[in-house]
Structures are given as structure tokens and as C-alpha cells.
Structure 1
Amino acid sequence: MSDILDGVTTFVRVVETGSFALAADRMNLTRSAVGKVIVRLEKRLGVRLLNRTTRSQSLTEDGQAYYDRCVRAIAELEAAQADLDSVRREPKGRLRVSVPQAFGHHCVAPVLLGLARKHPQLKIDISITDRFVDVVEEGFDLVVRIGPLVDSVSLAARRLGVQYASIGAAPAYLARCGTPRRVDEFHGHTIIAYSRHGVLEPWNVLDVDGQMRRAEVEPQLGFDDMQGIVDAAIAGFGLAWLPSWLLARYVATGQLVSVMENCFRPSQEIHVVWPKSRYLALKTRCAIDALVAEIPAMVGAPSAN
């Protein structure tokens, strides 16, 4: 007797990705293997599910009806697993997470490390990158994002806090070049800025009088990596743009000094996001709860300016 579910997950993944090649990549199979699974499924059902050409594919009428029922069946199976998770109360399995580089190293990774220690059956795979990842297409369970949520239709999200940015510098640099107190005093200072895709972020600064001003600076150094900015600042190169939570860590060690705190606008919201689903696996829910509980204290609240 054949397994009624044999090939169903592969069929659904092919439809969702719109491509045999993408489905194969997501499932760690060859394109040929995926094609054979679909052929066997069609033979067993006695109908053609997909119209295939060398360039495209589309569902047949029978395929659409079968796909709709398969999606509902998989949802019910996921619900059954979620119910078992709830009874078991022990998260297990593989959890794939993507996080920004500096924030991932300093904030998210320590939280997930604690979670892994608490739950030995939970296997956590952390990708640390500033690249904008596609949560669904790349198969991530959770992603931490800093900035606007541009794909919120397909994702659920919880807010972790707000990232403010400050200006910092090494004590040796300030002793040599002086400490600016207002935006107009930045003139003549060496600037280390953050860049994304080769474009330097503008210095829109909340001045001491409470007014927003665009600092007319020409950064000599630009990094798309926070640690690079930190290293250059500690080396005494100049004034640096840094997330306030990161600067505070080096102020505490005496390696950097805060020149102007929480002064950049706009600030950036921090969220943990995951694919929308009727049922949330226990492993994912536990990770979300841990991040929500611990991250806000790490990024802190802005001080009064």
C-alpha cells in the first residue's frame, strides 16, 4: 500500500516556489529528483498536476484542486505537531535564524546561546549577515531586522526595541583635535561613517538646541561593517557614527568617549520577524519569547537630550 503523503510536500514546494530548480534547492535535492517525485505522484493519482514547458510551469485544473487540499492537509499536520509541542513543552529540532552582523554578535547570539544551553534538543543555525534575506524563500524560521519592515504582508513581527545612534571617538583623538559640542563644530574633524551599498548615510543630527541639522561633513572613511567603524575609532582616526548600544560597550572600557548621545535621526526600530502561519512551532515561539524578554535591556532607552 502506497503512502498517501508520498510526494505531497515536494509538490506543494514546487507550486510555492514556481520552479523545480528552486524547490530542489530549498529541499536539498537535485532538480531531477524533484521531477521524478512529481511524475510518480501524477502516475499514482492518475492525473496531470502541472503543465510544464522548458521555461515555465502552471497548475492544471486538477492540480489546483489537489494543491488547495494539500495545503489544508499540511496545515492540519502542522497543527497536530504544534499540539504535541505544547504538551511536550520541550523545543527541539533545527531553528534557522538570520541576524545583522554587529547586532547579531553582541545581542542576538548571546540570547540564543542561552536558549541552546537550556534546551539541548534544540539545534540553532545562525546566519550573521547584513544582507537583506528573503525569509520565506531562503527557509529561515526567524530573522532580526533593523529598520522598516518592507515585506510585512507575508511576515509576522514583534518589536524588540529601537536603535539610536551616537557620535563617539577615542580619548586620544579628542585630546588631539578637541571635542565638538555642536553640529557647526564638526568642521575640520575627520569623520568615520556608515555606508550601505557604497552610499554613505547622511549625518542628520539633533543639535544641542533641539533642532535637526544636516551636518556638512565629508567622511574620509566609510564602512558597511560596524566592527570596522569601531576599530577605526579606537585607533584614533576620527569621529564615528555608531549605534548607541554598541558605543556604550566601548565607553565602559574607556576605549571610546561619547561625544553626542542618541543624536541621529531617524532612529530605527528593531523587530524579530517570521513567516506568517496559523500555527507557530514551539522552537520558534521559545526563541521569539527569549528575544523579546532580553533584547530591550541590551539596546536601552535614549537619554534626554
Structure 2
Amino acid sequence: MAHLEQLNGIVSFVEAATLLSFTAAAESLGVTKSAVGKSVARLEERLGTKLLHRSTRKLTLTPDGEAYLASCRHALEEIGGAEQVLLAKNQQLGGRLRVDAPAAWGRQILLPLLANIAKEHPGLTLSLSLTDRIIDPVEEGVDLAIRFGETKDTSGLIVRKLTEQRALIVASPEYLLARGTPQTVEDIQDHDCIVGFRRDIPNAWRVRNSEGAVYRVTPPATHEIGDGAAIVDSAIAGLGLAQMPSSLVNDHIRSGRLIAVLEQFTGAKIDISAIWPTTRHLLPRVRHVVEALANEGRRGGLGS
């Protein structure tokens, strides 16, 4: 019973913190306002800290409450995700799923996975946007977005790391024969570089020092290209050095079309994350796809 009461307290707290009202939380949960208030109060007593400031007008989160809310939401999402995986075996998903992902990775890695899910659930329809532009899922009505690297400006969004992969610096054999192979990070400044183009976002490559600590360098923006696949193609064509996720260049390295350089200074990990708008009830189709992607990430199926 104690464990059940703890879980009830967490659910009541998350609902009250999301709606900023005990009354609205009670209506949502189908219980009385008093039950929600007492459940949250017992949770605060057990934790030894205030999670919510009460006033006659509304509730506000304390600093401890903000931190705890993020952890609780993640835990409840994990529980719901586990249930969804089991339910999906016997239920058909339906409705339109709007997904946004980086262009090259989306075509090569994500699209086949989504196609398999859509075939398993004929009632599920897809709207897939493949672009290297960073979007706001809330403003653009996107159910699920995939992002590489650090996630910023995530107010109103939930972020879940799916996997990570290495960032490699590559060039064609012809380019290296003509211009020489860089030996140090500083040598990058003497080379032509192909960088991703995003308005108002500075270009930076992730490298490591001799102790393995990751830091950023700004390469010469010799060629600015706003599409990942085009960056890889440009590197193969001999336009210069490029830093790309390993999943997009590994096949070309194995074939000899590209050569990895500065390997002792590269290989920094890039997070691949799923991002979706914060809602009180996550759509089953979004939850199912996120869980499928997370499982694929654990198996190494999202690139390495």
C-alpha cells in the first residue's frame, strides 16, 4: 500500500503541476480536490521539501518542484511506454503521425523504420518532413521531431535520448592528395571545409584534446550546404573536409570514397534525441514510435 500511495502522490503532483490547479487536477483524475491536495502534501512530507507554492489564485512550482517534475514525467513516460509496447501487440494504431527529422539520416535510417511500423499498422498514416532546419514542434504542429546534438529551447517539450554516435571528420582521397592530410586540430584552419548552413546558428565541429575532453572549433566556412547528404556528396567530390555523423559516412569510408582524418582528435559522441510537445496524454502512435526508436537505438539500428 505504501508503494501505491507514493505512486498516487506522484501522479497527483504531476497533474497539479501541469495544470497549476488542484481543482483541474482533481477533475482530470476523477477524484476530489481534497484527495489531490492531501496526496501531494504527503508526497512533500515524505520528500522533506515543498514542491508547490499554494495561493488563492494558482499553484506555482518551487525550484525543487521543477526538478522533481521533470524526473517524474520521465518516469511516468517510461511506465506508459512499457504498457504501450505490450498493448501495441494486440492493438492497431491509427491516425496521422507528423514527424520531422534531419534530411540525410531521415532518408537512410528513419524512413525504413517508419515504413515497417506503418505496414504493421495500416490505420497509421505518415507526414514526414526531412530537413536540416531546426523547427519548433509546437509552432509547426509536429508530433515528433528527431534532433542531433545538444537540445536547446526545449520549453514545452519533452526530450528523450535515443542513442548516440560518433562525429567523424572526413575527406576524399583526391582532396587529401592535393592538399595534404591534417595532423592537428589547428591544421583545420588551413583547409577548405564543408559546413552545414543554418541561419543564426554558428558552425562548430566537436573535437577532443589529448586528455579526451570534448571542445568545439570553428572551421573555415569554405562551402556552406544546408543538407547532410549534399555535404557528404561534396566531400566525396573533393571539395574539402567535412564533419558528419558516423552513420552517414561509414559506408563511404569502407568503400574508400572517403578517408577519416584526425581520428585521435575526433570521435566525440553526438546525441540523437526524440522531442515532442508536452501534453497530459501522449498520443499512442507517438509513444509507440518513440519506444520503437529507443529499442532500435539499443540494438544499434539507428547508426553507430
TM-score, normalising length: structure 2: 0.62
Write the mapping of 1:105-120 to structure 2, written as runs, cut at 5 A.
Answer: 105-120=107-122
Q: Give distance in 1, aligned partners of 2:184 and 2:122.
A: 52
Q: Give distance in 1, aligned partners of 2:172 and 2:129.
A: 31
Higher deviation after alignment, 230-239 or 131-140 = 131-140
2:135 is the counterpart of 1:133: yes
Q: Give distance in 1, aligned partners of 2:157 and 2:201.
A: 28
Q: CA deviation at 1:126?
A: 0.7
Q: CA deviation at 1:123?
A: 0.9
Q: Give distance in 2, aligned partners of 1:107 and 1:192.
A: 23
Q: CA deviation at 1:195?
A: 3.0
**Residues 193-248 of structure 1: per-residue CA shift (max 9 Å, x gap):** 22321665134532466466766753321222212211211111222222222121
Q: Give distance in 1, aligned partners of 2:283 and 2:216.
A: 46
Unpaired stretches in structure 1, ≥5 consecutive residues:
1-67, 74-81
Higher deviation after alignment, 275-284 or 257-266 = 257-266
Amino acid at match of 1:118: E
Q: Give distance in 1, aligned partners of 2:211 and 2:180.
A: 20
Q: Secondary structure at the match of 1:148?
A: coil
Q: Give distance in 2, aligned partners of 1:228 and 1:139.
A: 27
**Residues 103-150 of structure 1: per-residue CA shift (max 9 Å, x gap):** 222222121011112222211111112233232333222111223333
2:146 is the counterpart of 1:157: no
Write the mapping of 1:1-305 to structure 2, written as runs, cut at 5 A.
Answer: 72=28, 89-186=91-188, 188-197=190-199, 200-203=202-205, 205-207=207-209, 210=212, 217-261=219-263, 263=265, 267-295=269-297, 297-299=300-302
Q: Secondary structure at the match of 1:137?
A: helix
Amino acid at match of 2:102: P
Q: Is the 8 A contact 2:88 2:288 kept in 1?
A: no
Q: Give distance in 2, aligned partners of 1:199 and 1:281.
A: 32
Q: CA deviation at 1:181?
A: 2.7
Cα gap change, 1:132 to 1:214, in 2 (>3 Å): closer
Q: Give distance in 1, aligned partners of 2:290 and 2:264.
A: 27
Could you tell me the percent identity over the aligned residues? 35
Q: Give distance in 2, aligned partners of 1:103 and 1:87.
A: 28
Amino acid at match of 1:239: L
Q: Secondary structure at the match of 1:136?
A: helix
Q: Give distance in 2, aligned partners of 1:179 and 1:261.
A: 12
Q: CA deviation at 1:153?
A: 4.2
**Rg comparison, structure with higher value:** 1
Q: How many residues align?
A: 227
Cα gap change, 1:197 to 1:208, in 2 (>3 Å): same
TM-score, normalising length: structure 1: 0.62
